[in-house]
Structure formats: structure tokens, C-alpha cells
């Protein structure tokens, strides 16, 4: 336990980020997206902290089951809907909203004789070409849903942006225009904007915004941090030094001897590695903080350990705290070094990491 890597979840930051989302959303309702175990922050934990959201968005039926088992009574929407006909009974039992995006799901609903009412969201593909009915099929799909006595007549209409994080990309404007055109004459609340859409496309806010990354202080714009966009990081990943070694000039560190000491120097060893979810692709030079001072990786990340160049850190000792990312070291900076995105890192923590809550 004493060597455990810690992921500290700052619940106050999570709540303040939701308040900032509400300020930007205007009159729109806010769906807090908590899929992927709350973007790696803990599904039940973040749902309780985000109790003021108007609804929760999850990826799968199992997530809805977990939230209901945790006593969460808030409206929940499963963003990919039922995966098979047998799921419909659980959707109704748990009172989960279902995104309907495919002909197969419509057929299951039409064959279902369960009298309990289901709340549906009709997804229209306006250019993402992943899930959703083609625009030419949207009116017919809507009519089929409206004809079912066990589907709530208040059917929400939604789409998903492919490039809303690129504020100058005309694709998003075309998607908004396509959605507006195809839904003309259809009743029901509208939902277009994701996190990036909330920031860069105010005309897409409509009745519901579906916000994920911003709630966790994760950037949704390349080259920016969450803090740059006005949101607070919610996760701090940290560990400790378990060794400080004096290594001579010309000696090499770690697997494949990829880092050669340019001088006699202290090298720290910290108890974290890709077995904890720290990215193996992070190269030498990737920053860490040792007692709040910037240092850098030396050599390859291994399964359980990393080596740290301590030349910038005076008097480092065994037991000193090492921060891998957090409010003072943006996760986006680490992700860029590792050739990935912040979402990937936050979602990648393994069971070896101990999660602790900070209420402030």
C-alpha cells in the first residue's frame, strides 16, 4: 500500500467545472457525460459530485445499471441505446433513456410488447458517419417511434459532431445546417453540442448540451490545456521516489540503455509505470514534478517504475512526492509527449492505482 500510485480526484473542481458549463450553456439543459467510468475518474464518484446536472450520459446499459445500483435517480441516457432486443426490458426497468440510431433497434422496439414506456432519443447522422439514421431516413424513423404506444411521444433529436474542436472547420457548420434542415417540422428537444461544440459553436446549444471532457478539466482543443479554456483539472496522479542513485557520466539508464548520463548525476526511481496506466510511449524528457519542482523522465517507462533526471531537484530523497500530472502539470502536456490525448491518459488508469477523493 505504501508504494501505491495515487489518483486524487478533486470533487470541488468537478462541481465548479459544471457551474462553468452552465454559464456557457445559457438556457440549455446539461447532460453530464460520465461514460468510460467517468472518463477514468470513477463513475459513481463523479455522478454523485455532479448531482446538479440535468441528466447523465453513459455508453452502455451496464453503466446505467451501476448508477441505479448506487442510488442515482437522475435521468440517464444510454448514448448507443440497446445492443440487442433483450436489453429493452432492462432499459424500462431501470428507467433509462435510449438513443435509437439504427434500423435494427427500431425493429426490436416494434416487436416489443412490454407496456412500460421508454424515452427515446433519435440520432441523425449529419456527417460523422458512425451512428445515426441518414437524413433521408430521419422522418420515417421518427414517425415509426411516434407510432409506438410504449415509447414516450416526446422524442429528442440529436446528432454528433465530427470536428467541432476545430473552430474554423466548415464541416461543423454544415452539420448544423443539415440537422436544422432535416428536423424541420419534427417535434422534440434538440441536442447537438458536445464539449467543443459548447465552446466554439454557440448556435449548436439548443435544448441540451452533452458535455464530457470539460467537466474533468480536459482540453477539447488541440494545443490548449483545460486550464487555458477556463476549466480546472480534476485528477492529480502522483507517486513517490523509492530510490535516489548517483550515476556516473556515460552510464545508461533503463531498458535498451536509451538515456546516457551527460554528467555525474542523481537519478530517482519512482513507483509507477505502464502497469499503472502511465504511458509507455512517454519519452525521455517528459516532465514530472518532484516536490513541486520540474524534473524529467530518464530512459524508458517500464511496467512498475520510471527513472527521473534529478539534476534540477536539490536534495531529493526517498519518499519524496512525484506528480505525473495535475493542476501544476497539465495532463495535455504529458499526452502530447506520449503521442496521444488527455482523454486516453485519464481513462487508462489500472486497478493498481488507488483513487482518493479531495472535497475541496
CA distance 330 to 226: 8
CB 290 within 8 A of CB 241: yes
The secondary structure of 183-221 as a DSSP string is TTT--S-EE---HHHHHH-GGG-SSEEEE-GGGGT---S
User: Helix (H, G, I), strand (E, B), or coil: what is residue 284?
Assistant: coil
CA distance 240 to 354: 13
Q: Please give the pLDDT value at position 360.
A: 83
CB 217 within 8 A of CB 231: yes
CA distance 48 to 67: 9
Burial level of 291, CB count in 10 A (0-12/13-18/19+)? middle
pLDDT tens digits along 195-205: 999 999 999 99
Q: Can you count the helices (H) and strands (E) in the chain?
A: 11, 18
Question: What structural domains and CATH numbers belong to the chain?
Answer: 11-218 (3.20.20.10), 235-358 (2.40.37.10)
Q: Please give the pLDDT value at position 83.
A: 98
* Residues labelled catalytic: 35, 255
> Where do the DSSP E strands lie in 35-180?
55-58, 76-78, 96-100, 120-123, 156-158
Q: Which of 61, 8, 56 is nearest to 215 (CA)?
A: 56
User: Parallel, antiparallel, or unpaired: how do β-strands 321-325 and 287-290 relate?
Assistant: antiparallel
Q: Please give the pLDDT value at position 4.
A: 85
Q: Please give the pLDDT value at position 1.
A: 52
Query: Grid coordinates representing 262?
Result: 551527460
CA distance 224 to 336: 11
User: Helix (H, G, I), strand (E, B), or coil: what is residue 156?
Assistant: strand
List the Cα angle 343/158/72 in 5-degree steps: 65
CA distance 129 to 160: 9
The sign of the torsion formed by the CA atoms of 198, 204, 206, 207 equals negative
**What is the residue-level pLDDT of the chain in tens, covering all 360 positions?**
566 899 999 999 999 999 999 999 999 999 999 999 999 999 999 999 999 999 999 999 999 999 999 999 999 999 999 999 999 999 999 999 999 999 999 999 999 999 999 999 999 999 999 999 999 999 999 999 999 999 999 999 999 999 999 999 999 999 999 999 999 999 999 999 999 999 999 999 999 999 999 999 999 999 999 999 999 999 999 999 999 999 999 999 999 999 999 999 999 999 999 999 999 999 999 999 999 999 999 999 999 999 999 999 989 999 999 999 999 999 999 999 999 999 999 999 999 999 999 998
Query: Grid coordinates representing 152?
Result: 414516450
> Who's near 73: CB < 8 A, 6+ residues apart?
none
CA distance 266 to 261: 10
Helix (H) or strand (E) holding 30: strand 29-33
Burial level of 180, CB count in 10 A (0-12/13-18/19+)? middle
Question: Crossing angle, helix 135-146 and helix 170-182, to 10 degrees?
Answer: 40
Query: Grid coordinates representing 138?
Result: 430521419
Amino acid at each position: 500500500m505504501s508504494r501505491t500510485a495515487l489518483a486524487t480526484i478533486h470533487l470541488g473542481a468537478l462541481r465548479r467545472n459544471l457551474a462553468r458549463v452552465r454559464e456557457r450553456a445559457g438556457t440549455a439543459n446539461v447532460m453530464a457525460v460520465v461514460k468510460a467510468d467517468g472518463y477514468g475518474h470513477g463513475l459513481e464518484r463523479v455522478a454523485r459530485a455532479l448531482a446538479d446536472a440535468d441528466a447523465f450520459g453513459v455508453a452502455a446499459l451496464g453503466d446505467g445499471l451501476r448508477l441505479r445500483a448506487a442510488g442515482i435517480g437522475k435521468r440517464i441516457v444510454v448514448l448507443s441505446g440497446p445492443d440487442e432486443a433483450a436489453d429493452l426490458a432492462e432499459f424500462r426497468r431501470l428507467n433509462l433513456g435510449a438513443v435509437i440510431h439504427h434500423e435494427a433497434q427500431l425493429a426490436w422496439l416494434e416487436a416489443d410488447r412490454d407496456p412500460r414506456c421508454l424515452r427515446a432519443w433519435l440520432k441523425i447522422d449529419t456527417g460523422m458517419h458512425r451512428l445515426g439514421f441518414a437524413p433521408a431516413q430521419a422522418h420515417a424513423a421518427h414517425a415509426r417511434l411516434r407510432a409506438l404506444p410504449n415509447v414516450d411521444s416526446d422524442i429528442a433529436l440529436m446528432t454528433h459532431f465530427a470536428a467541432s474542436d476545430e473552430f474554423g472547420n466548415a464541416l461543423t457548420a454544415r452539420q448544423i445546417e443539415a440537422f436544422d434542415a432535416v428536423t424541420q417540422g419534427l417535434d422534440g428537444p434538440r441536442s447537438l453540442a458536445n464539449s467543443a461544440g459548447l465552446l466554439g459553436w454557440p448556435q449548436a446549444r439548443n435544448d441540451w448540451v452533452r458535455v464530457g471532457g470539460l467537466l474533468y478539466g480536459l482540453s477539447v482543443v488541440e494545443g490548449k490545456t483545460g486550464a487555458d479554456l477556463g476549466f480546472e483539472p480534476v485528477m492529480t496522479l502522483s507517486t513517490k521516489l523509492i530510490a535516489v542513485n548517483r550515476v556516473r557520466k556515460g552510464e545508461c539508464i533503463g531498458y535498451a540503455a536509451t538515456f546516457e548520463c551527460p554528467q555525474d548525476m542523481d537519478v530517482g526511481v519512482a513507483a509507477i509505470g505502464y502497469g499503472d496506466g502511465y504511458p509507455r510511449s512517454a519519452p525521455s524528457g517528459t516532465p514530472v514534478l518532484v516536490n513541486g519542482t520540474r524534473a524529467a523522465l530518464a530512459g524508458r517507462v517500464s511496467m512498475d517504475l520510471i527513472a527521473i533526471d534529478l539534476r534540477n531537484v536539490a536534495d531529493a530523497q526517498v519518499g519524496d512526492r512525484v506528480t505525473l500530472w495535475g493542476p501544476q502539470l497539465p495532463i495535455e502536456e504529458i499526452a502530447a509527449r506520449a503521442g496521444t490525448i488527455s482523454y486516453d491518459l485519464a481513462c487508462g488508469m489500472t486497478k493498481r492505482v488507488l483513487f482518493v477523493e479531495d472535497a475541496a
